[in-house]
Amino acid sequence: MNSRRSGKIVFLMHCALIASLLLVADALKASNGKCVATTSTTSLSSSPSFVKRPITKLENEKSINFKYDDTIMLSSIRGGDVEDSDDNAVEDKSIVGKVFSVFGNSILGTVYAFKRAIDAGLDAVLDQESSAIGKLFNMMTSMTKAMFDKDFEPRAKAAESSKNFAEYLCGAYGVSLPEAADEYDDDDDDEGAGPEHIKIMSGSLSHALRNSRSKARLLVVFIPGAKPSKKQKNDIRAIKSLMSTDVQEISERNARKKEEGGSFSFWSTKNSSGEASVALKRLKVKSTSNKSPILMVVYPSQSIGASGEAKVVPRVLAQHHCKPPPSNESMALWLNALRKRHAKQYANMQLELKELALYKERKKGYKSSMKDDKKREREELMKEQKRLEEEKAKKEKEEMLTERRKTLLEELPDEPERGSEGIITIALRFSDGKKGQRRFDVETEVDQVFNWVDATFKLERERVVLTTMNGQKSFTYGEDSSMTLEVTGLGKMAALRVSEQVDDDVEEEEVEESSDEDDDGDEEEDEE
């Protein structure tokens, strides 16, 4: 925790310092811009005593060109590469101008030195393969080196410089790109846009190791011995061999006879980059003499860290002396021999890939099973909720019917005495064999008969249908409510058959059940 806290404090101090320096540079640039805008059209044309000479270009990342006349000093701070200067420009040898020139150079150089240091520090902090102490140490060393080396290039910037680092190497060292027999695909490339030559990864060594491990390949590491120059014969020879079709054919050859997939991946970086220093430390090798390049084959071994996370650790299998670097045929033979010699390492990586694929398949099946289980649980929950709602509605309806039947029974007209005039005796016959009989006055409405059936025999009057025995007349609740028994034309003794109306939903369910039974019967007949 203390190392992390101290690292953060150092980093914040550098950020504050670079921010203040950038503000000073911006203010200086703004003031100089105003001077140029107000005097550039008058000063040079009105002074006949000027001596014209070319302006000296300062060898720096950000060049500063100064122009003076006898009254006003003109200055322009230019960014990026050295820009073309005016051939007619003049310079003043006054003490004030020289002091201002030195001061501007110092300020701007310091600003960009600290900017490089901040970039290098961020790059070191983002290294996931290092511990907290390792990150702090790498951050301090990278920042120190970046401040005094203007050619220092952070790993993040180097990774973005080219998708295929082979293009940079060939262009920088004057090596032509040969056409390849087969395309080499990489996860970082766009689909359908494979390179026409061998693929050399750039960026961090950690990323290259993980990429190589994921493809069950050994990693060929190449670091140039010197900065790009057509005079570096060793680097040029090594790059030509790497880019040869012989080496590419070996890299794409199956690592084992029974297993498909290539044998080698390739990674490189610039000689002066921060990643080159980090890679040499991780690989525990020293730079060869006479500016010879570094060429080695690394096994991306996997280990479990203290936190329980898997880490890919480089293990050097072989390093070529590069005195001189091997030719096309020699490098191909060297790699092929290593491919055969380290079949065990290939087998371990391929077994891991198979287990990983099986794990992913099981995980996918597990997720699918979990999804199905959740879906089934939701369906069961919905069914249970529906059942509870139906039970609740049924219970509420039964309670309502009980109260209503109690009220209907109390409101039924008194039954006339036997033998009285103007009465009709209604005899009911139910489908289950039950019977019922009651006397009503002829002036009684038909609905009272339905109320009697509902209250006494526990049948909902809205669903009851009363039909004469010959089937010529039928009565339903509500349709004949204003009709009296005398108007119906029933005799003094009327026998009525009681039936219940069936809901449409119930009919559909019965039809579906009957169709399913018919289908099952047909299937049984087919099997027989």
pLDDT confidence of residue 430: 92
Quick one: pLDDT at residue 292? 87
Which of 12-21, 107-116, 128-137 has the largest mean confidence? 107-116
- Identify the pLDDT of residue 211: 92
Instruction: Report the C-alpha gap between 140 and 109 in whole angstroms.
Output: 20
Structural domains of the chain, count: 3
Of 296, 325, 341, the residue that ends a domain is 341
What is the rounded CA–CA span in Å between residue 262 and residue 282?
25
What does the pLDDT read at residue 374? 92
User: For residue 410, is it within any domain?
Assistant: no
pLDDT at 285: 84
What tens digit of pLDDT does each residue of 483-527 get?
Answer: 888 888 888 888 999 998 876 554 555 545 555 555 555 555 454
Confidence band for 308, pLDDT divided at 50, 70 and 90: confident
Q: Are residues 99 and 184 in the same domain?
A: no
**Residue 286 falls inside a structural domain:** yes
Cα separation, 301 vs 311, in Å, equals 8
Question: 55 and 97 in one domain?
Answer: yes
Strands 294-304 and 218-223: antiparallel
pLDDT of 122 reads 58
Considering only CA atoms, which of 165, 189, 185, 163 is closest in space to residue 177? 165
Domain residue limits at 206: 153-341
Identify whether 412 is part of a domain.
no
Mean pLDDT computed over 72-77: 32
In this predicted structure, the answer to whether residue 273 has a pLDDT above a threshold of 70 is yes
Residue 495 forms beta bridges with which residues?
A: 427
Identify the residue with better confidence: 305 or 162: 305
Q: How many CB atoms lie within 10 A of CB 3?
A: 14
Decide if 407 is inside a domain. Answer: no
111 plus 191 within the same structural domain: no
Q: Residues 26-38: what's their mean pLDDT? A: 45
Same domain, 170 and 288: yes
Average pLDDT for the chain: 74
Q: Is 105 found in the same domain as 188?
A: no
Residues 208 and 235 placed together within one structural domain of the fold: yes
Cα atoms in the Cβ-side hemisphere of radius 13 Å centred on 169 = 33
Please state the rounded mean pLDDT for residues 160-175: 77
Reduce the DSSP state of residue 214 to 3 states and report it: helix
Please tell me whether residues 79 and 164 are part of one structural domain: no
User: In terms of Cα–Cα distance, which of 249, 165, 236, 240 is closest to 203?
Assistant: 165
Please tell me the predicted confidence (pLDDT) of residue 119: 62
- Answer whether residue 367 is part of any domain: no
Region 32-61: mean pLDDT is 38
Peptide bond preceding 326: is omega within 30 degrees of 0, i.e. cis? Answer: no
Asked if residue 458 is part of any domain, the answer here is yes
Highest mean pLDDT among 2-6, 189-193, 333-337: 333-337
**What is residue 44's predicted lDDT score, i.e. its pLDDT?**
35
Quick one: which of 285, 308, 309, 305 has its CA closest to 295? 285
Report the 10 Å Cβ neighbour count for 59.
8
User: What phi and psi, each to the nearest 5 degrees, are found at residue 388?
Assistant: -65, -40
Which amino acid, 204?
Answer: S
Q: Are 198 and 222 in contact (CB under 8 A)?
A: no
- Of all residues in the chain, what percent carry a pLDDT higher than 70? 60
Is the predicted pLDDT of residue 321 greater than 70, yes or no? yes
Nearest in space to 18 (alpha carbons), one of 134, 89, 126, 108: 108
For residue 187, pLDDT over 90 is answered with no
Q: Does residue 213 lie in a domain region?
A: yes
Environment class of 443 (CB within 10 Å of its CB; exposed 0-12, middle 13-18, buried 19+): exposed
Does residue 317 carry a pLDDT above 90?
yes
Same domain, 73 and 160: no
What is the DSSP pairing of strand 464-468 with strand 435-441? unpaired
Q: Which of 341, 375, 393 is the last residue of a domain?
A: 341
- Best mean pLDDT range from 4-8, 46-50, 228-232, 466-470: 466-470
The tens digit of pLDDT for each residue in 85-129 reads 344 444 445 776 666 676 676 776 676 666 666 665 555 554 545
Average the pLDDT over each of 16-20, 176-180, 373-377 and give the range with the smallest value: 16-20
Residues 215 and 310 in one domain: yes
Please choose, from the candidates 221, 148, 220, 215, the residue with its C-alpha nearest in 3D space to the C-alpha of residue 186. 215
Asked if the model's pLDDT at residue 329 lies above 80, the reply is yes
- Same domain membership, residue 219 and residue 159: yes
Q: What is the mean pLDDT of residues 187-213?
A: 72
Residue 519 lies in a domain: no
What integer pLDDT is reported at residue 301 of this predicted model? 92
Q: Based on the fold, state whether residues 221 and 306 are members of the same structural domain.
A: yes
Per-residue pLDDT averaged across 260-265, rounded?
89
Tell me the mean pLDDT in the region 222-227: 91
Task: Calculate Rg over the CA atoms of the chain.
Answer: 48
Q: What is the pTM of this model?
A: 0.47
Residues 183, 40 within the same domain: no
Give the pLDDT of residue 164.
76
What CATH code is carried by the domain that includes residue 496? 3.10.20.90
Least confident range of 141-150, 387-396, 413-422: 141-150
Evaluate the CA torsion angle 114, 119, 120, 122 in order and state its sign.
positive
Each residue of 421-474: pLDDT tens digit? 889 999 999 988 889 999 999 888 888 899 999 999 988 888 999 999 988 888
Give the DSSP H/E element, type plus range, for residue 427: strand 423-429
pLDDT tier at 16, thresholds 50, 70, 90:
low
pLDDT at 316: 94
